[in-house]
């Protein structure tokens, strides 16, 4: 399984993003402790993730998908629940 970082800016007032949120939650294991930044676990490629999410966005929006599988990670300031998820799912020893 790959870990993808997904970040987006929604520039379209009045556009419903409910289907986008459903799609992000549909990946199964996910982390969502920042407003429009997610970590999702998937077997899909970065292009497949991008394309599947873009279907639920407006052409004026912006979307970034990065494969962070095995990449170093560091964080600070999150709730215990958010920090624990990062520690457990990014498998980075020594992070709190």
Per-residue pLDDT tens over the stretch 21-67? 999 999 989 999 999 999 999 999 999 999 999 999 999 999 999 99
Name the packing angle between helices 46-54 and 18-25 (round to 10°). 150
Amino acid 12: pLDDT: 86
Q: Do the Cβ atoms of 91 and 39 come closer than 8 Å?
A: no
pTM (two decimals): 0.88
What would the pLDDT profile of 73-94 be if each residue is shown by its tens digit?
A: 999 999 999 999 998 988 644 4
């Amino acid at each position: 399984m790959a870990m993808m970082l997904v970040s987006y800016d929604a520039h379209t007032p009045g556009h419903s993003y409910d289907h986008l949120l459903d799609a992000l939650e549909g990946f199964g294991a996910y982390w969502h402790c920042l407003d429009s930044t997610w970590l999702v676990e998937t077997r899909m490629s970065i292009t497949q993730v991008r394309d599947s999410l873009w279907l639920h966005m407006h052409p004026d929006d912006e979307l970034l998908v990065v494969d962070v599988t095995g990449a170093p990670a560091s964080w600070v300031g999150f709730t215990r629940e958010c920090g624990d998820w990062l520690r457990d799912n990014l498998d980075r020893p020594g992070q709190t």
